[in-house]
A and B are shown apart, each in its own frame.
Chain A
């Protein structure tokens, strides 16, 4: 490709993925080139017949402008050789399925590529498989289900496959019992709506976050017999009457939040650590074993969702001020927000890290969009309109990124499943590792 612009710059192209490596020699290219032009150069060098789109990184940041603008913004000299790292571009997520529900979807969790647990405001938890079949409609909650969590190997007999928390102040563990999904137990103890449920990566425990400002810690396994919560009043027990499912009591209560706790997630690296965010604007780290609040970070805005990535070791939070914030939980100064991603125009109801990438992040908002972020860039990579029919409301309330699937649901009642460029999602970091 002939350099045509008057101002030129020397670049060196470095491949992150082995299969796209090019000879390590400086090239002279016009400064006016943008991502597309550079991508063409790489494809030309590789001799691809079908061009593969690439993204270019300078100093760990995506190049989102022309080289000239980049140099000018960073006041760099055009004399030096600019090192450009390139990765295969992520392709836009493509919608592969849409499962319709009667009521608003409040939460979604994928246990595997073939099993999705969807909690709905009609109080029913539904299990879907990839073939658009509803494996089970799990009824047991008296009020809207606010949160569900799936256990990876929960399909086995006698094991708990999903946990759902509801506004009826109980969390129910669901399992397959005689080829049927059944409620194995009801975790009782919260005095207000359960807003979030999270299962630890090992599949042994789960935590629930509630509007009563506490977080409770439970074992996942079904109890042998009904356990009574220590603080349950006789009247309440009487009122509950002879419910046919066993009760389960919490093994620990974490209290420290001042308002409702809106979300909770496990630290995938440290089994005993839990992160939570709440209406008191705080993001807290807890040691569930000890039952103590390890760290507290404040940000002035209501936290609606938290998610932790084991790859980047960062905590992502979705906020009522329409922003996604990234925190480093290991940082000493707990008030520092590492990055603030703002592009949504509504509450960020849910955030989810890419399961295999240190940089990829997805967020779902009340504005009806899913945004996929690469945290090396402040602008979203893709914005997916997943709201569905406009007349039924567009708010997205739930999001889960499971391997190459992006599941989102909300007010419209339809569960949208998008496929993400799995190659990319798995790609760069594995290659680095």
Chain B
């Protein structure tokens, strides 16, 4: 009983041990069957609770110790296997515990243990253990180990060993799955498979109903009562009628089995012993093993191998100390850390891991793979060049005609080895056995190595590029007709450079201004010069008034701009309107000077001389400096002029109908090259050397500045729809701007070999042209789409050659016919040409 208590009590976890202990104390007298039932149940519950706690603790510790979860798995599996593989080890452990507990109990109680009761308790414990074992082997072993700690302090050597074995980091690390598997197999070989014990009902006395439940009290205590005890239901068991001694004697005399009859005092019954039981008694009395069937000298079952297993199969729990980090190790580590920090330990220089010998071709394949030369991960080997089959010359015994003559031999020997046709001389050996060893083997092998070393390492993928494919996909110029392609007419008459040309709005008359001081009027289709005006100074610019209602042109000659109505060109009606426009301003006072703040304007509107008037010159606008450029507004009333003056007065805007001049800019940065009115908006494009500034004349504000990135802009033209600008420069570049897109060029084209002098859009066809000092005019297709998302299409169409280059000046001006797809150009050679 005390042993039982001692055994069961430590199973409880420390925090819950009170209640069961009390419960056990409540039944000091009731010993045996009743007492252990309750505590055992509570024990089971407790152990369940312990299970999870312990498991967690175990994992934590395992983690602390540096085990992976995998390792702990292995650990659990190990123990699992232990539990599964049979009851033998358990029993052995139990025996061990038994001993421990016995010692303990004897220490405490000092009473001799009741063997039979102990055995009973043991068997019960074993049963319960078995039950638990099925549920959680870990718990069981854990509980046992706590057992061990509590009860048998001196006995934990084995556990320690196991723990150290299991948890020794290094030991663990050295273990492999293979080791483990090998151990298991070995152990299985050792294990003896015992037959299953079948507890038959007949042999099991425990199934018999114990009639009397009084327990282990002397029956004498009931001697005075009519009953001898109580049955399981608490009813009294009446004392059976006992015969007197005489009857007994007589009965004994009659009964042949009397010698095998024993008296059960508790139940007051006679029990007839069976033959086997008698045999057992006899064997006991004889000092033999009671069980006849028990083989006392059975072979040893080696539950644990005598060999030291790498993965010990002991179910013993590793000791807790194993989980605690070692203090000394920590100290040692810190020492090292300090040493590293203080720089006493330095990292050794990295070893030169480059192999002494390496694969010369290793890179080549990789780079080939990177280049996508391999297909499907396979290496692409360069096929060896095909060797020619050996010929008669290579024979050891060639026919005589293959043998070299003396002269050939001399020649061969004299020749540079690299330039020899063959690297050997045919020789006749007569028979194969006289053929000597190859004397140039080493040289050839060396040469071979050199060849390999110098051979290209990479298969170069030759790109099959068609020059056609690289060309931008442009439509065929033949599909973009009409455009000017041939020279049709030459207008000859000027004796100087023709600086400027202009076609009247009807497209029938051509005007040209030249360095010879004349302005000529040509009939466009015949090339007939209809009229000549001699203005005596270089005519920089001629410009027809774009208003089709009137017939007026402006010519900038020297320091004045004249407005001319060519006589006999228009009918009377038109002439009247034109004269009204041009001369009406004379009625006003003083021309442009009437505005007080514009006193400094260097302009005067004058009546020309009578000789000039006869020739049709109506108004002469005098300026201080040379007038370089004249540009009409599309309505034909305003005219912008540019003079060579510095500052803001260079650009002036004149209102023809009122003879009024204005100065739109007080100051102007840079040397202005050109002024031009925008064809659709109230904008003025002022071109300086580097930039094109677009001003809104209505709001008097700068709209934007185009930055072509060229050195010197020569000419600008605006697309008739107004959203695109082309720009030619003296550094040979043509730039196309999309005003909606950017102030940087949408496209820059450089086809001319000399400075571009003029760029022009066609007002009616999707064409533009550039005229250059290289004597050519280049015609482009420049389609601007209604769809704003579509970029303009620019296709070079034609190079027109014909103008001669004089003093490195080629074509000075070009102009599209207002109605036809014709181009007019004027050059330094004094001619004007019509291209159709």
- Residues of A that sit less than 8 Å from B by CB: 104, 106, 121, 142-144, 167-169, 190-193, 211-212, 233, 235-236, 239, 259-260, 262, 279, 300, 302, 304, 320-322, 346-347, 349, 366, 393, 395, 397, 411
Given contacts A279-B820, A320-B836, contact A347 B525 (CB under 8 A): yes
Contacts of B508 in A (CB 8 A): 192-193, 211, 260
Contact of A279 among B507, B572, B576, B836 (CB under 8 A): B507
Query: How many angstroms between the C-alpha atoms of A167 and B530 in the bound complex?
Result: 10
| Inter-chain contact A366/B488, CB cutoff 8 Å | yes
B130 at the binding interface (Cβ < 8 Å): no
- Minimum distance in angstroms from B23 CB to a CB of chain A: 122
B573's nearest neighbour on chain A, judged by CB, is A233
| Inter-chain contact A395/B527, CB cutoff 8 Å | yes
Given contacts A212-B571, A366-B527, 16 further A-B contacts (CB under 8 A): A121-B528, A143-B568, A144-B528, A192-B570, A192-B571, A211-B508, A233-B573, A235-B576, A236-B573, A259-B819, A302-B525, A304-B525, A320-B488, A393-B492, A395-B489, A397-B526
Would you mind naming 27 contact pairs between A and B with Cβ atoms under 8 Å apart? A142-B568, A143-B530, A167-B568, A190-B571, A191-B574, A192-B570, A192-B571, A211-B506, A233-B572, A235-B576, A236-B571, A259-B507, A260-B508, A279-B819, A302-B525, A320-B488, A320-B525, A321-B836, A322-B488, A347-B488, A347-B489, A347-B525, A366-B489, A366-B527, A393-B492, A395-B489, A395-B527
Query: How many angstroms between the C-alpha atoms of A106 and B530 in the bound complex?
Result: 13
| Inter-chain contact B489/A300, CB cutoff 8 Å | no
- Minimum distance in angstroms from B129 CB to a CB of chain A: 113
B482 at the binding interface (Cβ < 8 Å): yes
| Inter-chain contact A168/B573, CB cutoff 8 Å | no
Contacts of A300 in B (CB 8 A): 482
Contacts of B528 in A (CB 8 A): 104, 121, 144
Query: How many angstroms between the C-alpha atoms of A123 and B492 in the bound complex?
Result: 21
Contacts of B836 in A (CB 8 A): 320-321
Query: How many angstroms between the C-alpha atoms of A104 and B482 in the bound complex?
Result: 31
Query: How many angstroms between the C-alpha atoms of A345 and B672 in the bound complex?
Result: 43
Contacts of A211 in B (CB 8 A): 506, 508
A104's nearest neighbour on chain B, judged by CB, is B528
| Inter-chain contact A169/B571, CB cutoff 8 Å | yes
Mark interface residues in B337-365 (1 if CB within 8 Å of A CB, else 0).
00000000000000000000000000000
Contacts of B486 in A (CB 8 A): 322
Query: How many angstroms between the C-alpha atoms of A354 and B552 in the bound complex?
Result: 44
| Inter-chain contact A191/B507, CB cutoff 8 Å | no
Contacts of A169 in B (CB 8 A): 571
Query: How many angstroms between the C-alpha atoms of A144 and B523 in the bound complex?
Result: 11
Query: How many angstroms between the C-alpha atoms of A239 and B526 in the bound complex?
Result: 29
| Inter-chain contact A239/B572, CB cutoff 8 Å | yes
A121's nearest neighbour on chain B, judged by CB, is B528
Query: How many angstroms between the C-alpha atoms of A322 and B523 in the bound complex?
Result: 19
Residues B790-836 near A (CB distance < 8 A): 819-820, 836
Query: How many angstroms between the C-alpha atoms of A366 and B526 in the bound complex?
Result: 8
The secondary-structure label for the interface of chain B is loop
Query: How many angstroms between the C-alpha atoms of A239 and B572 in the bound complex?
Result: 8
| Inter-chain contact A191/B571, CB cutoff 8 Å | yes
Contacts of B571 in A (CB 8 A): 169, 190-192, 212, 236
Of A239, A279, A349, which is in contact with the most chain B CB atoms at under 10 Å from its CB?
A: A279
The secondary-structure label for the interface of chain A is loop
Given contacts A260-B506, A260-B508, contact A235 B572 (CB under 8 A): yes
- Minimum distance in angstroms from A191 CB to a CB of chain B: 4
B821's nearest neighbour on chain A, judged by CB, is A300
User: Which 3 pairs across A and B sit closest by C-beta, in order of nearness?
Assistant: A236-B572, A191-B571, A143-B568
Mark interface residues in B364-399 (1 if CB within 8 Å of A CB, else 0).
000000000000000000000000000000000000
Query: How many angstroms between the C-alpha atoms of A244 and B79 in the bound complex?
Result: 143
Contacts of B523 in A (CB 8 A): 144
Mark interface residues in B558-597 (1 if CB within 8 Å of A CB, else 0).
0000000000101111101000000000000000000000
Contacts of A236 in B (CB 8 A): 571-573
Contacts of A235 in B (CB 8 A): 572-573, 576
A304's nearest neighbour on chain B, judged by CB, is B525
Contacts of A320 in B (CB 8 A): 488, 525, 820, 836
Contacts of A104 in B (CB 8 A): 526, 528
- Minimum distance in angstroms from B835 CB to a CB of chain A: 11
Query: How many angstroms between the C-alpha atoms of A212 and B492 in the bound complex?
Result: 27
B820's nearest neighbour on chain A, judged by CB, is A302
Contacts of B820 in A (CB 8 A): 279, 302, 320
| Inter-chain contact A346/B507, CB cutoff 8 Å | no
| Inter-chain contact B530/A144, CB cutoff 8 Å | yes
Query: How many angstroms between the C-alpha atoms of A346 and B641 in the bound complex?
Result: 38
Query: How many angstroms between the C-alpha atoms of A321 and B492 in the bound complex?
Result: 21
Contacts of A346 in B (CB 8 A): 488-489
Contacts of B506 in A (CB 8 A): 192, 211, 259-260
Query: How many angstroms between the C-alpha atoms of A307 and B425 in the bound complex?
Result: 92
Query: How many angstroms between the C-alpha atoms of A388 and B530 in the bound complex?
Result: 22
Contacts of A397 in B (CB 8 A): 526
Contacts of B573 in A (CB 8 A): 191, 233, 235-236
Query: How many angstroms between the C-alpha atoms of A142 and B530 in the bound complex?
Result: 12
- Minimum distance in angstroms from B811 CB to a CB of chain A: 21
Query: How many angstroms between the C-alpha atoms of A121 and B528 in the bound complex?
Result: 8
Residues B479-528 near A (CB distance < 8 A): 482, 486, 488-489, 492, 506-508, 523, 525-528
B485's nearest neighbour on chain A, judged by CB, is A321
- Minimum distance in angstroms from B404 CB to a CB of chain A: 58
Query: How many angstroms between the C-alpha atoms of A302 and B524 in the bound complex?
Result: 13
Given contacts A233-B573, A235-B576, A346-B488, contact A168 B507 (CB under 8 A): no
Residues B613-646 near A (CB distance < 8 A): none
A259's nearest neighbour on chain B, judged by CB, is B819
Query: How many angstroms between the C-alpha atoms of A337 and B262 in the bound complex?
Result: 149
A262's nearest neighbour on chain B, judged by CB, is B525
Mark interface residues in B254-280 (1 if CB within 8 Å of A CB, else 0).
000000000000000000000000000
Query: How many angstroms between the C-alpha atoms of A48 and B141 in the bound complex?
Result: 145
Contact of A168 among B489, B527, B568 (CB under 8 A): B568
Contacts of B576 in A (CB 8 A): 233, 235
Query: How many angstroms between the C-alpha atoms of A396 and B571 in the bound complex?
Result: 28
Contacts of A212 in B (CB 8 A): 571
- Minimum distance in angstroms from A348 CB to a CB of chain B: 11
- Minimum distance in angstroms from B661 CB to a CB of chain A: 30
Query: How many angstroms between the C-alpha atoms of A236 and B571 in the bound complex?
Result: 8
- Minimum distance in angstroms from A64 CB to a CB of chain B: 26
Contacts of A144 in B (CB 8 A): 523, 528, 530
Query: How many angstroms between the C-alpha atoms of A143 and B527 in the bound complex?
Result: 16
Query: How many angstroms between the C-alpha atoms of A279 and B819 in the bound complex?
Result: 9
Contacts of B568 in A (CB 8 A): 142-143, 167-168
Query: How many angstroms between the C-alpha atoms of A150 and B324 in the bound complex?
Result: 135
Query: How many angstroms between the C-alpha atoms of A397 and B525 in the bound complex?
Result: 10
Query: How many angstroms between the C-alpha atoms of A7 and B836 in the bound complex?
Result: 48
Query: How many angstroms between the C-alpha atoms of A320 and B817 in the bound complex?
Result: 14
Contacts of A302 in B (CB 8 A): 525, 820
- Minimum distance in angstroms from B485 CB to a CB of chain A: 10
Query: How many angstroms between the C-alpha atoms of A142 and B567 in the bound complex?
Result: 10
Contacts of B526 in A (CB 8 A): 104, 106, 349, 395, 397
Query: How many angstroms between the C-alpha atoms of A77 and B379 in the bound complex?
Result: 64
Query: How many angstroms between the C-alpha atoms of A191 and B508 in the bound complex?
Result: 14
Contacts of A167 in B (CB 8 A): 530, 568
Query: How many angstroms between the C-alpha atoms of A322 and B486 in the bound complex?
Result: 10
Query: How many angstroms between the C-alpha atoms of A4 and B572 in the bound complex?
Result: 77
- Minimum distance in angstroms from B377 CB to a CB of chain A: 60
Query: How many angstroms between the C-alpha atoms of A106 and B523 in the bound complex?
Result: 12
Contacts of A260 in B (CB 8 A): 506-508
Query: How many angstroms between the C-alpha atoms of A397 and B523 in the bound complex?
Result: 13
- Minimum distance in angstroms from B694 CB to a CB of chain A: 34
Contacts of A393 in B (CB 8 A): 492, 527
Query: How many angstroms between the C-alpha atoms of A193 and B508 in the bound complex?
Result: 10
Query: How many angstroms between the C-alpha atoms of A235 and B575 in the bound complex?
Result: 11
A232's nearest neighbour on chain B, judged by CB, is B572
Query: How many angstroms between the C-alpha atoms of A121 and B819 in the bound complex?
Result: 25
